[in-house]
């Protein structure tokens, strides 16, 4: 009898534990189902007047040939040949500054004026060399004639020839130096003009009236932002799909919300230091006037087109970090009342006002989709929930 009792107790314990475990599992499943129903199975009811005010338009999923894209990050960059530091190899004192930061200037425009004794001396040396050159050319011709008649010595002739060649070199050197200063060598000037080497905008002016210039000192910085391009970071997994000539689109959210397009013209041949990304360079098709270097951008690279199921963008609403649409059963007769069920979807490619859509919940066998007025339904749903009532 004792042995039978023990078996009975053990069996009872196992039966009780099994029932308790089953009950707990059912409670968890029920709770999860209730939470899912609460989040996704929400319904909105409208009367005829509300439906008209909402501008509800029904439709179906459409086959759309949308462009597949790769999302990348990058920033606007300016090539070095479109940036310039304005310097001079002569010393002097700045007497006038003729531009301000941000001013648009053209190549050769005078930016500042300076007094420079070195510049005056350079012009003087040029004029002396020019006159000496004229004298040596005449003297060389005379010695050449005398030499042909065997009147002078070979030594005298060679000396005159050497002096002429030396003066030619000196004259050419002085001419080149004055040319670097964008100065007419034949017009003596008391002041030195500092001119722009490129067209662009003045970005930096580190000098002021009375600044003593030295050789190589930066007097102005210029940038030509019309040549800005994109440097896009392409990850290793995306490299096989990227090639020259592909179109890129991006938005400058900190400037305006207009979409800007670009075209890839070059792709790097090595990974960037410390990363697994390669830089793709893209020319901007029409550079906005207010675009500046160093702006970070989120861009989309078109990598091909495919036919997908899609809906107009306004048919999709967002809530709790998820995306939804509203559907209605076409077989039901609602009389003066219309019911719309909110169902969750996953979205993909977005282009030309349409978004790729995959419905991830069960929907009625015969249903239409709200393609206009979804935001009204979502607002109505939130309003009802906030008021403590039901959403249907």
Q: What is the mean pLDDT of each run of 10 residues along the chain (392 residues)?
A: 43 46 47 47 84 90 84 92 94 96 95 95 95 94 87 88 95 93 85 95 96 94 93 93 91 67 93 91 88 88 85 92 89 72 90 87 88 91 64 40
Residue 210 is encoded by which pair of tokens? 């009375």
pLDDT for the residue numbered 256: 58
> Three-state DSSP class for 99?
coil
Q: Is 3 part of a structural domain of the chain?
A: no
- Do 100 and 200 lie in one domain? The reply is yes
Range of the domain at 292: 70-81+225-306
**Residue 367 bridge partners (DSSP):** 329
User: Which of 182, 206, 223 is where one domain is finished?
Assistant: 223
- Measured between alpha carbons, how far is residue 318 from residues 297, 315, 359 in Å? 24, 10, 14
- Do 186 and 157 lie in one domain? The reply is yes
Tell me how many domains the chain contains.
Answer: 3
- Do 212 and 264 lie in one domain? The reply is no
Is the CB of residue 277 less than 8 Å from the CB of residue 75? no
Is the CB of residue 218 less than 8 Å from the CB of residue 87? yes
Does this model's pTM top 0.75?
Answer: no
User: Which of 306, 327, 359 is where one domain is finished?
Assistant: 306
- Do 291 and 335 lie in one domain? The reply is no
User: Which of 285, 306, 327 is where one domain is finished?
Assistant: 306
Which H or E run contains 256?
none
pLDDT for the residue numbered 387: 47
Residue 105 is encoded by which pair of tokens? 């200037």
- Do 90 and 204 lie in one domain? The reply is yes
> Three-state DSSP class for 106?
coil
Q: Is 30 part of a structural domain of the chain?
A: no
Question: For the chain, where are the alpha helices, taking DSSP H only?
Answer: 2-40, 48-54, 117-148, 154-180, 374-386
Residue 149 is encoded by which pair of tokens? 């008649």
d(CA 340, CA 381): 10
pLDDT for the residue numbered 71: 87
Residue 311 is part of a domain; what is its CATH number? 2.40.420.20
Is the CB of residue 264 less than 8 Å from the CB of residue 281? yes
d(CA 239, CA 271): 11
Residue 183 is part of a domain; what is its CATH number? 2.40.50.100
Q: Taking Cα atoms as reference points, which of 78, 76, 110, 82 lies closest to residue 199?
A: 82
- Do 149 and 271 lie in one domain? The reply is no
- Do 169 and 235 lie in one domain? The reply is no
Q: Which residues are CB-neighbours of 221 under 8 A, at least 6 positions away?
A: 83, 84, 85, 86, 202, 203, 204, 205
């Amino acid at each position: 009898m004792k042995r039978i009792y023990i078996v009975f107790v053990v069996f009872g314990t196992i039966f009780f534990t099994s029932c308790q475990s089953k009950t707990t599992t059912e409670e968890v499943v029920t709770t999860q189902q209730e939470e899912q129903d609460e989040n996704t199975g929400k319904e909105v009811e409208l009367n005829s007047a509300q439906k008209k005010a909402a501008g509800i338009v029904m439709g179906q999923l459409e086959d759309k040939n949308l462009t597949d894209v790769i999302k990348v990050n990058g920033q606007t960059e300016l090539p070095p040949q479109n940036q310039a530091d304005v310097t001079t190899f002569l010393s002097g004192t700045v007497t006038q500054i003729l531009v301000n930061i941000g001013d648009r200037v053209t190549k050769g425009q005078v930016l500042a004026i300076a007094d420079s004794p070195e510049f005056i001396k350079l012009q003087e040396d040029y004029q002396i060399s020019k006159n000496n050159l004229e004298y040596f050319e005449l003297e060389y011709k005379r010695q050449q004639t005398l030499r042909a008649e065997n009147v002078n010595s070979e030594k005298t002739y060679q000396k005159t020839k050497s002096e002429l060649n030396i003066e030619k070199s000196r004259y050419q050197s002085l001419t080149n130096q004055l040319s670097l200063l964008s100065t007419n060598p034949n017009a003596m000037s008391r002041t030195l003009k500092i001119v722009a080497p490129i067209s662009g905008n003045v970005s930096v002016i580190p000098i002021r009236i009375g600044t003593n210039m030295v050789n190589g000192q930066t007097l102005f910085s210029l940038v030509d932002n019309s040549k800005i391009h994109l440097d896009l970071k392409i990850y290793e997994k995306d490299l096989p799909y990227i090639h020259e000539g592909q179109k890129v689109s991006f938005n400058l959210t900190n400037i305006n919300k207009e979409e800007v397009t670009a075209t890839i013209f070059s792709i790097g041949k090595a990974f960037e230091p410390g990363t697994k990304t390669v830089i793709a360079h893209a020319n901007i098709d029409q550079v906005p006037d207010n675009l500046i270097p160093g702006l970070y951008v989120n861009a989309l690279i078109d990598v091909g087109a495919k036919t997908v199921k899609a809906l107009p963008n306004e048919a999709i609403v967002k809530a709790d970090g998820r995306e939804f649409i509203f559907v209605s059963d076409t077989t039901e007769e609602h009389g003066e009342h219309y019911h719309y069920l909110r169902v969750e979807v996953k979205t993909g490619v977005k282009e030309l006002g349409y978004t790729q859509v995959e419905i991830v919940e069960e929907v009625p066998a015969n249903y239409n989709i709200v393609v206009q007025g979804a935001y009204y339904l979502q607002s109505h749903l939130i309003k009802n929930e906030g008021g403590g009532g039901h959403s249907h």
